[in-house]
C-alpha cells in the first residue's frame, strides 16, 4: 500500500500522529477490559474445578472403597470436613453422598464454564463493536482526498477481516493462552501433589511436543497461504471465463478453457495434498507421542503401585490429570504461531486510525454569515496533486440569484462547486471563497454543508426506502409524534413534487417504501438524480447547487423541475451546472468555464452579444424558447 503524506489541510493542521500498537489495543478495549478480566477469572476457576473430581474419585476408590488413609490436598480435606464428608467411615454406607458431591462440583464447573464463555463473548462483542464504530466514524470524517487515494476494497477488507483477526487475537488466542498456561500449571501442580517422580515422567515429552507443534504450525501456516493463493487464482479463472463467456464461445474455445481450468484445478489440488500431508504427519506424530507418554506413565505408575509408593486411587487420578495435560500442550504451539498474524492486522488498522480527519476540533467561528448573502470567488486557483484544475477564478453571485455554469469535460465545473462545499479545501495562497464576506475556511464544515445543499452528478442512494433516503437530513422535529409524522410527510411530498418524483413513485407497488440502494430496486439514472434533488430540497438550504443533476432527465422534465424550483425556492441562491443552454439561459449570471479559466461571464443577453463559445453552442443547440 502506497502511503503518501496527506496534504496539509488549513484549519485542521494537526500533524499526522503515530499511535503505538499497545495504545491502539487499549483504545479498542475501552469498556471491555473488566469483562475480559472476569472471563479470564472464570476460565481459571473452571480449570481449577475441573481438577477436583478426579481427586474425589481417587479418594473414593482409595479411602472409601479401600481402606487407606485419606490423602487429599489440605484445602480439599478442609472443605470435605466442613461439609461433613471428611470421614471415609461415614461415607462408606452412604455412597450417594459422593455422587452428589461429584455433581455439585460438576455443576459449579459448568456454571464457571457458562460464565466464562458469556463474559468472553460479551467482552469480545463489545470490543468489536467499539472497533467498528471507531473505524466507521473515523472513515466518514476523513477528507475526500484520502478516499481518492485509497481503494474501497482495501479499506473494507481492513474494516472486516483485519478486525476479525484482531478479535481472534484478543478474545480467542490471548484468552486461550492464559487458560492453557493455567491448565498446564494446575495439572502439573496436582500431578506433583500425587507423586513428584511420576510428574517428571509425565512432563518429559512436553518440550518436545511444544517444539514440533511450533515447527509444524509454521509450515502449515505457509502452506495454507499457498493454498489460499492458488484458490484465488482458480477462482479468478472461473470468474474470467464466466464473465467472458461471449469471447469464449465466439472463438469456439470451450475445450481450451476446460483443459486450462482442469490443469489449474489439478495444481490447486496438489497444493492441498501438500498441506494435507503436513497435517496428517502432524496428527500422527501427536497421536504417537500422546500414546507413548501414556505408556510411560502406565509403566512407571504400575511399578510405583507394586512398590507400594502409589495407591490405586492415586494411579487413576494421575491418569486423568495426564489426559488434561495433553490438550493444552498441543494447543500452545498453535496459539503462539497464530498470534504472530495479528501484528500485521494491527498495522493495517492503524493506517486508518492515524490518518487525520477533516475536522479534528471544530473551530469556533468569529461570525456566522448570513447564508443568503453574496457568494464571492476571489482569485481561486486549485489543483489535485500536480494537475491544475482552476486558474484564477473570480466572480460574485449576489444572494438569492442564480448562477449558470457552462463548460466542457474537465473544465473544472465540479471542482468549483465542491470547493464551495469544502469537499476540498483551498490553501492560504490559493485565493478565497466568501459567503456574506466570511471566508468559508473559518466555518465548521458541518455548518457550511448544512446550509449549502448540493446535488451531485452521480448521486449515491443509501440502502433503505425512498422515504428514508429523501428525509435523510431532515431533523426529527419537536412536538407530538403524530404532528411530527404529518410534518415529515408534508415535507416529503413537497420536495418530491418539485423534483417531479411523485408520478414515478406512484408506479412503484410500495410507493415511498420501495427499498433502494445496494440490495434494493435499481433506479434509472434520471430517477436517482430526481431522488437526490428531493433529498436536498427537503431541508430547504439557503444555497443550492445542481452539479449537472439533470443530465439523465429528459428535456421536458428538466424544464418542469426548473420551473417548480423557481416557483418554490424564491430567495435561494442557486448554482446550476449543465451543458444544455436551455437549462442555463434564464440564470441571472452565466459563467463559461474553459480549461479552468473563466472564459465568459455575464447574462444571457450579454453573452449572446459577445458572440463567443456561448453563442456558438447556443446556435448549435437552438433551444426552444
Partner 1 sequence: MEEKKNTKGKSLPWFGIPALGRFLKPYRRRIAGMVLLGSVSSLIDSIYPLFNKHILNVNVGGMTLKGLPLTLLLYLLILGFQVWDNYITMFLCSRLELWMNRDLRDAVFGHVQTLSFSYFNQNSVGYIHSRVMSDTGKIGELVSWRMMDFVWNFAYILSVVVVMFLTDVRLAMFILALVPIAVLIILFFQKKLVVLNHRVREINATITSDFNEGITGVRSIKALAAEEKLFGDFRGDTKDMEKAAVKTARNSALFSSSVTMFSALALALVLWQGGMLNQQNLMRIGTLSVFLSYALGIMDPIQNVINTLSALITIQVNIERVTRLLGTESDVKDSPEVIRTYGDSFFPKKENWEPLDGHIEFRDVSFRYPDGEEMVLEHFNLDVPQGASVAIVGETGAGKSTLVNLVCRFFEPTQGQVLIDGRDARERSQLWLHSHIGYVLQTPHLFTGTVRENLCYGNPDATDAQIMEALALVSADQVVNRLEKGLDSEVGEGGSNLSTGERQLISFARAILADPRILVLDEATSSVDTVTEKTIQEATKKVTQGRTSFLIAHRLSTVTDCDTILAVKDGKIVEQGTHHELMEQKGYYYQLVMQQYEDEQIASMWGKDA
Using CB under 8 A as the binding rule, the residues of this chain from 100 to 139 that contact partner 1 are 100, 102-103, 105-107, 109-111, 113-114, 116-118, 120-122, 124-126, 128-129, 132-133, 135-137, 139
Between the alpha carbon of residue 59 and those of residues 38, 77, 279, the distances in Å are: 32, 10, 41
* C-beta contacts of 5-9 below 8 A and 24+ residues apart: 6/143, 6/145, 6/146, 6/355, 6/356, 7/145, 8/427, 9/143, 9/356, 9/358, 9/425
Distance CA 521, CA 544 (A): 28
When the beta carbons of 83 and 243 are compared against partner 1, the nearer one is 243
Using the rule CB under 8 A, is 555 a contact of partner 1? no
Task: Give kind and range of the element (H or E) at residue 452.
Answer: strand 452-455
Q: Which of 140, 185, 200, 344 binds partner 1 (CB under 8 A)?
A: 140
390: β partners: 382
Identify which range of 247-255, 387-395, 562-570, 600-608 contacts partner 1 by CB under 8 A.
247-255
CB of 339 to partner 1, least distance (A): 22
When the beta carbons of 177 and 298 are compared against partner 1, the nearer one is 298
Between the alpha carbon of residue 562 and those of residues 414, 570, 584, the distances in Å are: 20, 12, 10
Residue numbers 291-310 binding partner 1 by CB under 8 A: 291-292, 295, 298-299, 302-303, 305-306, 308
b/e code 162-192 from CB counts within 10 Å (16+ = b): bbebbbbbbbebbbbbbbbebbbebbbebbb
Residue numbers 84-103 binding partner 1 by CB under 8 A: 92, 95-96, 98-100, 102-103
When the beta carbons of 73 and 612 are compared against partner 1, the nearer one is 612
Helices (H), 195-311: 196-203, 206-243, 245-250, 254-307
What string marks each residue from 60 to 79 as x (binds partner 1 by CB under 8 A) or -? Answer: xx--xxx-------------
Distance CA 346, CA 620 (A): 59
What string marks each residue from 327 to 356 as x (binds partner 1 by CB under 8 A) or -? Answer: ------------------------------
When the beta carbons of 241 and 568 are compared against partner 1, the nearer one is 241
Residue numbers 346-405 binding partner 1 by CB under 8 A: none
Q: Which of 2, 5, 69, 266 binds partner 1 (CB under 8 A)?
A: 266
- Are 237 and 264 contacting, i.e. CB atoms less than 8 angstroms apart? yes
Kindly state the cell numbers that stand for 452.
Answer: 449549502
When the beta carbons of 25 and 105 are compared against partner 1, the nearer one is 105
Residue numbers 601-620 binding partner 1 by CB under 8 A: 613, 616-617, 620
Using the rule CB under 8 A, is 407 a contact of partner 1? yes
3-state secondary structure at position 401: coil
Which of 466, 588, 486, 590 has the alpha carbon at shortest distance from 534?
A: 466
**Given CA atoms 372, 377, 381, 387 in this order, what sign does their dihedral have?**
positive
Q: Which of 152, 361, 522, 556 binds partner 1 (CB under 8 A)?
A: 152
Residue numbers 416-435 binding partner 1 by CB under 8 A: 421, 423
Residue numbers 448-487 binding partner 1 by CB under 8 A: 449-450, 453-454, 456, 459-460, 462-463, 472-473
Using the rule CB under 8 A, is 582 a contact of partner 1? no
Using the rule CB under 8 A, is 250 a contact of partner 1? yes
CB of 11 to partner 1, least distance (A): 15
| Per rule CB under 8 A, count of chain residues that contact partner 1 | 138
Give how far the C-alpha of residue 31 lies from the chain's centroid of Cα atoms, to the nearest Å: 19
Amino acid at each position: 500500500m502506497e502511503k503518501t503524506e496527506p496534504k496539509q489541510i488549513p484549519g485542521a493542521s494537526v500533524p499526522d500522529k503515530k499511535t503505538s500498537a499497545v495504545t491502539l489495543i487499549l483504545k479498542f478495549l475501552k469498556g471491555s477490559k473488566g469483562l475480559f478480566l472476569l472471563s479470564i477469572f472464570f476460565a481459571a476457576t473452571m480449570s481449577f474445578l475441573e481438577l477436583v473430581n478426579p481427586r474425589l474419585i481417587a479418594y473414593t476408590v482409595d479411602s472409601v472403597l479401600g481402606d487407606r488413609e485419606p490423602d487429599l490436598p489440605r484445602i480439599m480435606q478442609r472443605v470435605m470436613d466442613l461439609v461433613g464428608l471428611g470421614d471415609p467411615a461415614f461415607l462408606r454406607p452412604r455412597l450417594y453422598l459422593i455422587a452428589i458431591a461429584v455433581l455439585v462440583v460438576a455443576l459449579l464447573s459448568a456454571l464457571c464454564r457458562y460464565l466464562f464463555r458469556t463474559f468472553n463473548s460479551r467482552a469480545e462483542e463489545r470490543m468489536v463493536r467499539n472497533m467498528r464504530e471507531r473505524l466507521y466514524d473515523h472513515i466518514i470524517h476523513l477528507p475526500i482526498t484520502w478516499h481518492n487515494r485509497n481503494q474501497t476494497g482495501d479499506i473494507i477488507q481492513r474494516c472486516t477481516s483485519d478486525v476479525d483477526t484482531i478479535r481472534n487475537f484478543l478474545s480467542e488466542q490471548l484468552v486461550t493462552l492464559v487458560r492453557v498456561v493455567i491448565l498446564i500449571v494446575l495439572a502439573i501442580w496436582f500431578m506433583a501433589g500425587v507423586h513428584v517422580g511420576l510428574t517428571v515422567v509425565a512432563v518429559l515429552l512436553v518440550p518436545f511436543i511444544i517444539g514440533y507443534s511450533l515447527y509444524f504450525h509454521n509450515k502449515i501456516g505457509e502452506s495454507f497461504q499457498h493454498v489460499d493463493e492458488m484458490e484465488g487464482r482458480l477462482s479468478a479463472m472461473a470468474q474470467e471465463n464466466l464473465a467472458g463467456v461471449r469471447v469464449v464461445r465466439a472463438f469456439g474455445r470451450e475445450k481450451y478453457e476446460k483443459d486450462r481450468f482442469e490443469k489449474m484445478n489439478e495444481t490447486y489440488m496438489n497444493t492441498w495434498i501438500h498441506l494435507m500431508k503436513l497435517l496428517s504427519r502432524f496428527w500422527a506424530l501427536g497421536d504417537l507421542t500422546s500414546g507413548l507418554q501414556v505408556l510411560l506413565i502406565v509403566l512407571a505408575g504400575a511399578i510405583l503401585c507394586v512398590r507400594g509408593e502409589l495407591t490405586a486411587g492415586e494411579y487413576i487420578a494421575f491418569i486423568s490429570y495426564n489426559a488434561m495435560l495433553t490438550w493444552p500442550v498441543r494447543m500452545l504451539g498453535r496459539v503462539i504461531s497464530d498470534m504472530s498474524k495479528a501484528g500485521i492486522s494491527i498495522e493495517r488498522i492503524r493506517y486508518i486510525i492515524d490518518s487525520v480527519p477533516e475536522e479534528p476540533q471544530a473551530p469556533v467561528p468569529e461570525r456566522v454569515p448570513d447564508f443568503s448573502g453574496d457568494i464571492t470567488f476571489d482569485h481561486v486557483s486549485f489543483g489535485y496533486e500536480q494537475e491544475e484544475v482552476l486558474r484564477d477564478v473570480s466572480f460574485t453571485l449576489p444572494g438569492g440569484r442564480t448562477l449558470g455554469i457552462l463548460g466542457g469535460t474537465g473544465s473544472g465545473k465540479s471542482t468549483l462547486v465542491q470547493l464551495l462545499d469544502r469537499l476540498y479545501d483551498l490553501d492560504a495562497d490559493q485565493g478565497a471563497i466568501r459567503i456574506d464576506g466570511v471566508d468559508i475556511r473559518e466555518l465548521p464544515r458541518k455548518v457550511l454543508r448544512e446550509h449549502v445543499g448540493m446535488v451531485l452528478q452521480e448521486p449515491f442512494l443509501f440502502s433503505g426506502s425512498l422515504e428514508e433516503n429523501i428525509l435523510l437530513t431532515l431533523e426529527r422535529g419537536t412536538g407530538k409524534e403524530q404532528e411530527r409524522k404529518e410534518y415529515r410527510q408534508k415535507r416529503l411530498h413537497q420536495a418530491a413534487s418539485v423534483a417531479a418524483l411523485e408520478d414515478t413513485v406512484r408506479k412503484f407497488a410500495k410507493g415511498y417504501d420501495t427499498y433502494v440502494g445496494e440490495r434494493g430496486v435499481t433506479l434509472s439514472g434520471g430517477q436517482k438524480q430526481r431522488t437526490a434533488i428531493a433529498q436536498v430540497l427537503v431541508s430547504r438550504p439557503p444555497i443550492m447547487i445542481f452539479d449537472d443533476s439533470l443530465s439523465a432527465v429528459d428535456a421536458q422534465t428538466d424544464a418542469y423541475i426548473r420551473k417548480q424550483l423557481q416557483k418554490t425556492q424564491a430567495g435561494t441562491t442557486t448554482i446550476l451546472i449543465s451543458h444544455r443552454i436551455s437549462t442555463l439561459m434564464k440564470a441571472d449570471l452565466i459563467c463559461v468555464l474553459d480549461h479552468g479559466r473563466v472564459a465568459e461571464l455575464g447574462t444571457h443577453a450579454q453573452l449572446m452579444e459577445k458572440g463567443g463559445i456561448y453563442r456558438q453552442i447556443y446556435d448549435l443547440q437552438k433551444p426552444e424558447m
